[in-house]
Structure 1
Amino acid sequence: MEKIGNEKIFFHVFPTLKVENDIKMLFSDVEVSKITTNSKRDFLRVHIFSRHLIQKKHIWQMEQKIKEQLFGNTRVSIRLEEQYALSEQYTASTLMMEYRESIVQELKQHSVLAASMFEQAEMHFEGSDILYLEMLNTIVSEGKREYIVDLLHEIYEKRFHIKADIRVTYREAQGEQDRQYEEQRIQQEINAIFERRAKQRGEEPAEDSAGGQREKKEGNQEKRGDSGKKGDFKKKDFKKKDFYRPLKQGDDPSLIYGRNFDDEPITLDQVVTEMGEITVHGKIINFDTREIRNDKTILMFAVTDFTDTITVKMFTRNDQLPELLGDLKKGVFVKIKGITTIDKFDGELTIGSVTGIKKSGDFTVTRKDLSQVKRVELHCHTKMSDMDGVSEVKDIVKRAHDWGHPAVAITDHGIVQSFPDANHFIETLDKDDPFKVIYGVEGYVVDDLTEIAVNAGDERLDDTYIVFDLETTGFSAIKDKIIEIGAVKVVNGEIVERFSTFVNPKRPIPFEITQLTSITDEMVMGYPDIETILPQFLEFAADGVLVAHNAGFDVGFIEQNCRYQDIEPDFVYVDTVAMARVLLPTLSKYKLNVVAKALGISLENHHRAVDDAAATAEIFVKFVQMLKEQNITTLKEMNQFGDMNPNAIRKLPTYHIIILIKNDIGRYNLYQLITESHLTYYARRPRIPKSVLNRYREGLIVGSACEAGELYQAVLNNKSAESIARLADFYDYYEIQPLGNNRFMMVSDKFPDINTTEDLEEINRKIVELGEKFKKPVVGTCDVHFLDPEDEVYRRIIMAGKGFSDADEQAPLYLRTTEEMLEEFEYLGSAKAREIVIENTNKICDMVEKISPINPNKCPPVIANSEQDLRNICYNRAHEIYGEDLPEPVSTRLEKELNSIISNGYSVMYIIAQKLVWKSNDDGYLVGSRGSVGSSFVATMSGITEVNPLSPHYYCEKCHYNEFDSPEVKAYAGGCGFDMPDKICPNCGEMLIKAGFDIPFETFLGFKGDKEPDIDLNFSGDYQAKAHKYTEVLFGEGHTFKAGTIGTLADKTAFGYVRNYYEERGHRKRKCEIDRITVGCTGIRRSTGQHPGGIVVLPHGHSINEFTPV
């Protein structure tokens, strides 16, 4: 190796490197000690030196950035070799605590088995430098022990220069679980071997590595076989008589076309280039034919096996086409043998030269719920959940019904726009079918009931207040430590005393915390730990009310450390964030520096406890003065003053909540909540204040929702028992979900307390315990966002299109069977799992009545005397045209329509349209009508439309002569009256009017005359707003509403989402596969808007929320 560098700051050595901010911060003060290369200069080793810990994943990310940006497509490899000089807070034990995951990942680079053994090993330290690793005593453990120990020694001693004595012990395998674990580790090692071999060959490793190698080998053999040689397709081999071969050349009843074959199919995701002759199977998802010359037709159809899709093209004689089309059609499963080729027209890889097609059974796995007693899913999202759910509501409801579930709940985010389609499915069922849809919503609740001063009594604003701030090693009161406390005592509005100290956390301070606070390990190492400091702080704060900015965080840490020292926390505390929301409502954010700036208060060293506490104290003093100006002198009065106004509520944090409808009262109340959440409290999302929810709670069932729910977050963040109890009492039932739903927490820095599956299990256990304690049912839900596991690809693409960086890490949010859900919660014990999965979900179901999501009554608007007015208008106009004695076709048709319209309560609809049209005409604007309203003669006579639906006829405007029955007129029956020849009136000599389009009334209102009328009117763009305003004049203010529209993801947009998703990830997909996936992404709700002309008219005496939210 030759040395080609010297010691420099990392970004001086690589000045053009562009990296994310978090990576840049980690390497900002890293030094490059040297750079070495090999003789071929295709391997670069960069030796770096750091005084803070950098996780291995960030090291590898930097290696990748250097490779991509500086060496491009060259064969140069990059490796960063780390050397550390960490603070004395790092011992063998503390380093393992901070660096264990990096060690696991480093082991995985060489042996998946060794990494798995180390990850599952039980570990403890004796003192700070003797590490005991207890591994499972199995046939493979001994072989990997030496490798694991050697790597640990190298990491400890050569990389970190920390002494460590590593001792390995073994425990005997116990039971079936350990045996299965051992088998799994062996299989992991086998798969890893195949994966490494594939990479060495430059191949893509198959999902089943062993099988993948065999298939690839067979595929290569086929490719090298005779069928792939051009010589086989010489022109002399094809003779004219060959084109007259029979359609089938075999007796196999499953044969559709060509010769019989028994080849095993390969999966379509393996078909990535021309491979010669192959056999595949799949489902035909689209089908097209195109006739060409010489009495032949091209058949083009796409086949998918759900790993990929490919187009098949073949020629057939026209006389064989009917028989072939009887078997080949959309939705059929087939097995095909043909030759892969690049289509010369579209450049796509297709299957042509088809030698055989056979019928194939449906090989897709159909899940069934075989449990004798079925569960009920109480948390489902459909395509109406804004760019989130990807399944049609009818498909979800149908699946639950087919599985024999008693019901299913529909709970889209913030809206109820899928309710009508769900109800339409219910209407298709037998009336005696007990299955029901539970209508509900997953809302965004805000806690406007939390008081500014918590646990307040009769304290006055002039009493003693301890304004304090903490700096910590992280956000978890359980796992993280306090490193600084700053406090200021305020008496009678004056600062009288200060308290400030560092706290030794007895563990390293994370680098990002040092960057934020400027507090280093060396600064805290000479100070006492929290066991000593906390009593001193409590003595300083004795008899005072605690005050903090975002007090829940700081008080939470103090309370948790009190519990560790067996001190019962019982604090009265005030949150200056809550005070700011009330007293400074115009601010958009309420961070400490923002509030300080708004009040003109200096904050020089933000994120240092002593300075933040001093600034918070000044803020608090100013807030007290502002309250006194409002004649507020006690904490109780401050809480009353702080009752939230809409502006303040819009700035509160939101949590998810499930609200289910029990009965008709609940339907009205839920719609009222949704209306207020959109009209009064909307800010980025529709918010439901708890105070408003309590007002409309009758007829509703309130659940705690998912991990974004308030109760789950309280348990996750180790809130006080009092806080959790208050939340537990608020909800009617609690939700827990499969561990896979929340596994994202294990890899996110936002959840420091969640690192293992056991951590997730523990949260669910705590929620179950709360259910037992507060006598509330706990239910297991799926939080359904797609119907089947394989449907996750649609949501993955949608989320990627919205810019989510973790879109590829989709949680398994599919609808599960009863057995699948019981298996998910088996760690709770079989009896408890059955209780939360089956018994409690059915209890909630039994509380819900089978209702319609809308008021079942038609409730048309009322205009006094509308029936008689419509009759008078029509007959007056008929007499004006046809004279005093109406012709029989006119009177019969008019009376038939009027009787049907009036008896079904539709006369008011005609009168509304008539008044709008006449008003527009009076104001000088013509109105056009469109659609089936032209088939209504009443609409013609009332002036709504100019289309006359009677049979063709003549009439005279002057003397009212008319002609319906002459042979000349009857010759145009079923046609258009305007096509008849011109004719002079035999009575008065005037030119007769030609009229009539011969359109039956049934086109408009159906054969029974009870079809809902749809009168479409086209107003001038200039006049449209005036027409809308006139409806309000007709019915009164508050009784007319603009109709809404739902904007969904269209075909072309969805196609772009799918194509971009795969292109961004470097995956080339055939167009037919993109088309297949596009279908699953279309129709997803993207936005809402206002209908350009639709008006909803509300009758007097009714509320709009009886029918729909606004």
Structure 2
Amino acid sequence: MQELAFKEGFVKILSKEVWDGQDIESLFGNIKVQEINLYKKSRKMEVKVISDRLIPAQTIAEIEEKFTGYFCLNCVDIKVKYAINDKIEELLDSYWENIIFFAGRKLATSRGLLSGCSWKLSKRKLSVYLKTKGAGILKAQECGKFIEDIIDEAFSTKVKVEFIDCIIDESYNNKYIEEKKAQEQKLLSNVIYISENNRKNSSSLHKKVSGQDRMANESAVILGKEFKDEIIAMKDIDQDSGKIAIAGEIFSIDSREIRGERYLYIFDITDKTNSFTVKFFTKKDKYGEINNKLKIGIAVKVRGEAQYDKFSREVVIMASDIVKIEKQKQRVDAAQEKRIELHLHTQMSSMDGITPVEDLVKRAAEWGHKAVAITDHGVVQAYPGASKAASKYKIKIIYGVECYLVDDTNDENFDYTKAESYHAIILVKNKTGLKNLYKLISQSHLSYFYKRPRMTKSMIMEYREGLLIGSACEAGELYSAVLENASDEEIYRIASFYDYLEIQPLGNNQFLVESGKVDSREALKD
């Protein structure tokens, strides 16, 4: 009975979906349902099935998401056991990328560390060879145990997983050098300091500088020569960017000796918009001098070629010139009348914030702000850290959230899974408001969760005491209405719901100009 209902559920929910060429019926037509468990308190469904063919992990994940929304649950977990009479090595070979996918869903940091890895199975010992160094991190996060459970669950085979860091041997270096031989010759010419004759020739092309300035410039040069090319933000660089100049802070350095009495230098650099690996070659007699200048934590500008490196499988910068520069000074708030930030995301805001709450609170305090609001997307997990940081840095926390708002006030057939959601800011005024916010958060996760925790307007009206409601960003209901040229009456109706209207810096919405949704920066002001 369960099996019939489950299969009928697939037909009903998935019949109108497009699955990138996957034939759902062929994948799930022969499955046997072992068990279906529904946990009412946590609103979770667990489905255990047996299949005679491998099912892509991405397909399973998408079906889980659709079932979650269809049944109004918090989570659906489909566990598949495969009844396939192949050797475990053959199964792992066919299913390995799916195992990596599942591990990445469970442990986000494993995605990069496991990217491009290889494996070897010997007497139930599964050795995973990484393309980088991260075995310690994966072990600490019990990633090996998670992969062991996946394999046992899917193929009824127990293995012991070990992670092995990448070791660059001489054969790798030789192969790398052969691949880069032509470019290496070009780069090596820039490693040697400019001869005295070259200096004399170049002096006729440039404005003369004092002896003191020249010495300062030369001491700042780490590789090649000084340059004044326009610096490009790292977020704007890809493998087709060609010759570029970047600037940022070094946070990792490695070097290794290669044949021909030469060294390969590799360091990582960031400008806070993105990060890149920089590589260059140097002769042995210059190694000590460069090694004394190139340090973790210093700021440098780099000129070189952006290109795809097939060994590291990422875009790297092959440097021709590296110059030490002064670190950017920490920004200060010089305004006599300090502002208070009412829209702020910590690392608890998935895909929208990466900074720990303590760092944000500390910075606001350093700028002389008397208070700062914490408004993560749909969650309040940053509150404990914010409270602790507030005591430490002597600043007031305004507790809040950026919710996903749906309007149910004028629709008799309202369905929150089909209604369009908008951003809205909710700020706490007092203890009553904090209790009401917790009630709203709880209901949004338990009763109105569809892809995101949603809040209806009627819910907010019920628990509005002690709260302030703001119109939020361009994803807010009011801003969206203005962009869609709604009537004045409609805009007034929408605006009347809010206690305050949020106005953001023009730079926050510059993307609307770049995407063509708004004609110009001046139009943003209107």
TM-score range, shorter chain: 0.3 to 0.5
Higher strand share: 2
Question: TM-score, normalised on structure 1?
Answer: 0.24
Q: Which has the larger radius of gyration?
A: 1
